[in-house]
């Protein structure tokens, strides 16, 4: 089975971008493309997470075919193990370092207020659901179900939103209402100023389709190979997805935070364009020397992403005088020498490069941690 370098580079690129957008020097002085859209709309940052789900589907097109040959017992044992482990790591990352320091001393984490859902939890759920659909309904059946999921999600959001108000607004949307009922206010994300989780239960339904479409394209690439014709077809497919997504967005606005169906099509469209470009450069033109940088992230994506989250929390916890180490380093090493927004971005890039060095060391020692 041919392994395409472009898929590995795409996976590594998304991990590198996830680290950069998650760790600016100062959120208040960030470049606008490196921030999520405030609600409806789209920025480059909004495309990073769905692109990672897309490459999860790409990787599944290689791994699941081997698992399916081992029968349902082995298949679901492996799928459930991966799902549970990734979900569990997400929960642990949420509560790390399990305590906080204050003038009163060490205060243990209040587990009654743990955020149940999150990025890794969504990855786990989307992987598990997509793998289950693929086993029972094969590729064609899974894509039909995926289309029904997108349309069904649209109907649920429209008909179960706040009566007499915008059904896709922050406060009254159906996704938030379900999370409030099912999970409760204490265990939801509060980054929007009110309890609302952008990785909530209902909005996970359309996110599964990002994985299914990534899987479908991965299967197709294995059959067609890395040729100019393949690149051209990918670009045509991407154009169709973007057209349908932006057209649908007229009625169901493109919105990452409630993961609208139009957002699924648009985000997969852009990810497919990027994949086509990478395939042309790496598989057709054979210009490969630059790609190793991103392959380092692609070889250990989960552990490097988790490490970035752990390390930034340690940097926020450790104090230098009356400042957190992160703030001390940023204020001392970046702010005096660069304009505010550039300083914030350069800090994020330097942090990403630090994580890359760990990944490079792991690669040189042939340490590959897989779930």
- Tell whether 142 is covered by a domain: yes
The predicted pLDDT at position 1 comes to 58
pLDDT over 70, % of the chain: 98
- Tell whether 329 is covered by a domain: yes
The predicted pLDDT at position 22 comes to 94
pLDDT over 70 (residue 369): yes
- Tell whether 369 is covered by a domain: no
Q: Tell me which residue range forms the domain holding 245.
A: 5-364
Across the range 93-104, mean pLDDT stands at: 77
Per-residue pLDDT tens over the stretch 260-303: 999 999 999 999 999 999 999 999 999 998 999 999 999 999 99
pLDDT over 90 (residue 106): no
Half-sphere exposure of 193 (CA within 13 A, CB side): 4
* Band of pLDDT at residue 103, cut at 50, 70 and 90: low
- Tell whether 157 is covered by a domain: yes
Per-residue pLDDT tens over the stretch 304-362: 999 999 999 999 988 888 889 999 999 999 999 999 999 999 999 999 999 999 999 99
- Tell whether 370 is covered by a domain: no
The predicted pLDDT at position 270 comes to 98
The predicted pLDDT at position 68 comes to 84
Query: What is the rounded distance in angstroms from the CA atom of residue 100 to the CA atom of residue 92?
Result: 15
Per-residue pLDDT tens over the stretch 226-268: 889 999 999 999 999 999 999 999 999 999 999 999 999 999 9
The predicted pLDDT at position 112 comes to 86
* Band of pLDDT at residue 102, cut at 50, 70 and 90: low
- Tell whether 169 is covered by a domain: yes
In sequence order, the 6+-apart residues with CB closer than 8 A to the CB of 23 are 308, 312, 347, 348, 351, 352
The predicted pLDDT at position 148 comes to 98
Is-contact 187 114, C-beta < 8 A? yes
Q: How many domains does the chain have?
A: 1
Angle in degrees, CA 150, 10, 116, rounded to 5: 55
Q: Is 2 left (phi over 0), alpha (psi -120 to 50) or beta?
A: beta
pLDDT over 90 (residue 66): no
- Tell whether 371 is covered by a domain: no
């Amino acid at each position: 089975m041919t392994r395409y370098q472009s898929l590995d580079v795409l996976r590594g690129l998304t991990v590198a971008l996830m680290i950069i957008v998650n760790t600016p020097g100062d959120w208040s002085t960030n470049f606008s493309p490196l921030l999520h859209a405030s609600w409806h709309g789209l920025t480059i940052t909004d495309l990073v997470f769905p692109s990672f789900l897309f490459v999860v589907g790409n990787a599944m097109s290689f791994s699941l075919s081997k698992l399916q040959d081992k029968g349902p017992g082995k298949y679901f044992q492996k799928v459930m193990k991966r799902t549970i482990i990734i979900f569990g790591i997400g929960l642990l990352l949420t509560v790390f370092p399990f305590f906080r320091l204050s003038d009163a001393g060490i205060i243990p984490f209040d587990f009654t207020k743990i955020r149940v859902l999150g990025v890794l939890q969504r990855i786990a759920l989307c992987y598990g659901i997509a793998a289950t659909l693929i086993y029972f309904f094969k590729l064609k059946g899974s894509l039909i179900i995926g289309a029904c999921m997108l349309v069904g999600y649209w109907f649920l959001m429209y008909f179960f939103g706040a009566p007499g108000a915008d059904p896709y607004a922050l406060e009254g949307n159906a996704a938030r209402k379900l999370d409030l009922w099912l999970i409760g206010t204490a265990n939801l994300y509060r980054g929007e100023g009110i309890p609302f989780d952008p990785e909530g239960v209902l909005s996970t339904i359309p996110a599964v389709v990002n994985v299914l479409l990534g899987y479908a394209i991965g299967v197709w690439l294995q059959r067609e190979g890395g040729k100019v014709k393949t690149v051209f077809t990918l670009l045509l497919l991407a154009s169709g997805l973007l057209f349908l997504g932006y057209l649908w967005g007229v009625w169901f606005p493109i919105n990452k935070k409630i993961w609208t169906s139009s957002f699924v099509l648009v985000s997969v469209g852009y990810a497919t364009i990027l994949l086509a470009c990478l395939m042309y450069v790496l598989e057709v033109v054979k210009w490969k020397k630059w790609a190793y940088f991103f392959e380092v992230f692609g070889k250990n994506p989960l552990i490097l992403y988790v490490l970035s989250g752990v390390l930034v929390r340690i940097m926020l916890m450790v104090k230098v005088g009356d400042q957190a180490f992160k703030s001390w380093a940023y204020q001392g090493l970046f702010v005096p020498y660069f304009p505010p927004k550039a300083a914030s971005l350069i800090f994020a890039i330097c942090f990403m490069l630090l994580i890359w060095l760990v990944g490079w060391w792991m690669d040189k020692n042939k340490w590959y941690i897989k779930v």
